[in-house]
A = this chain, B = another copy of it.
Amino acid sequence: MALGALHRSPLVDQAVESLREQIAEGRWPVGTRLPGETTLAKTLGVGRSTVREALRALAGAGLVQARQGAGVFVIATSPAEDWTARLRRAAVADVYEVRMLVEVQASRLAARRRTPDDVTALHAALEARRAAARESDAAFVDADIALHAAVVAAAHNPVLTDLFAEFVPRLREGLVALVDLLDLRASDPNPGDDAHAAFVGAVERGDADGAGRVLQEELEQTLDRLRRAG
């Protein structure tokens, strides 16, 4: 039976839709309190648990937030804009610059917080980068990014790790294009190996200043190229 479309939607979904519309229309501006569950149940004509589930769905979507004893508050009128989409629209050089700021500081943290496991992972990533020297440009860029991601992970801050992960797709895109455009690997298939090795060593030694400095120089060089190529 292809009647799936004819399904009348569950009451919860109808309630979610109704509330979402009213929030989008500004009936309850951001920061204000929604009516209580019992009130909403009466006005929507459904049971209290149904209202609660609808509110949970909206909370999961990031539109409202419940505070026990106080009420349910509107925290956004529409689903927030996709950050990855914003990055896709931005100039690669701008993205790269922010990545540089973030990672240089992350490397300083990493030098202070790295565990033995982190050091092992860093050496493995460095080796993988060397191994990728024989591969395609895309594979080499992937290995390079993986090394940098390992550094950020060693800073042990989940927000930082997520943030860097957010940058990866756009970075990869820009770097592959750059390597291809400037033919960076024509003379040396493994550019920047010394710098990366020195950098890993600095993190391993716990030398925050050294790690930050080496990384900044390396990244700034690429940033300059990106700017010129852009």
Interface set of A (CB-CB < 8 Å, partner B): 7, 10, 12, 16, 49, 52-54, 56-62, 68, 75-76, 79-88, 90-91, 94-95, 97-98, 101-102, 104-106, 109, 157-160, 162-163, 166, 169
B62 engages A82 (CB within 8 Å): yes
Select from chain B the residue with minimum beta-carbon distance to A12: B56
Known: A80-B83, A85-B62. A160 touches B101 (CB 8 A): yes
For the complex, what is the distance from the CA of A80 to the CA of B169, rounded to whole Å? 12
Output the residue of A91, A158, A169 with the most chain B CB within 10 A. A158
Residues on the B chain within 8 Å of A169, using CB: 75
Copies of this subunit? 2
Select from chain B the residue with minimum beta-carbon distance to A96: B159
A157 engages B82 (CB within 8 Å): no
Looking at the assembled complex, report how far the CB atom of A104 sits from the nearest CB atom of chain B, in whole angstroms. 7
A159 engages B98 (CB within 8 Å): yes
Select from chain B the residue with minimum beta-carbon distance to A216: B105
CB contact between A82 and one of B81, B98, B101 (< 8 Å): that residue = B81
B85 engages A157 (CB within 8 Å): no
B160 engages A68 (CB within 8 Å): no
Known: A57-B60, A61-B61. A105 touches B101 (CB 8 A): yes
Output the residue of A52, A86, A97, A159 with the most chain B CB within 10 A. A159
Residues on the B chain within 8 Å of A158, using CB: 90-91, 94
Looking at the assembled complex, report how far the CB atom of A82 sits from the nearest CB atom of chain B, in whole angstroms. 4
B159 engages A95 (CB within 8 Å): yes
For the complex, what is the distance from the CA of A169 to the CA of B31, rounded to whole Å? 12
For the complex, what is the distance from the CA of A84 to the CA of B86, rounded to whole Å? 13
Residues on the B chain within 8 Å of A105, using CB: 101-102, 104-105
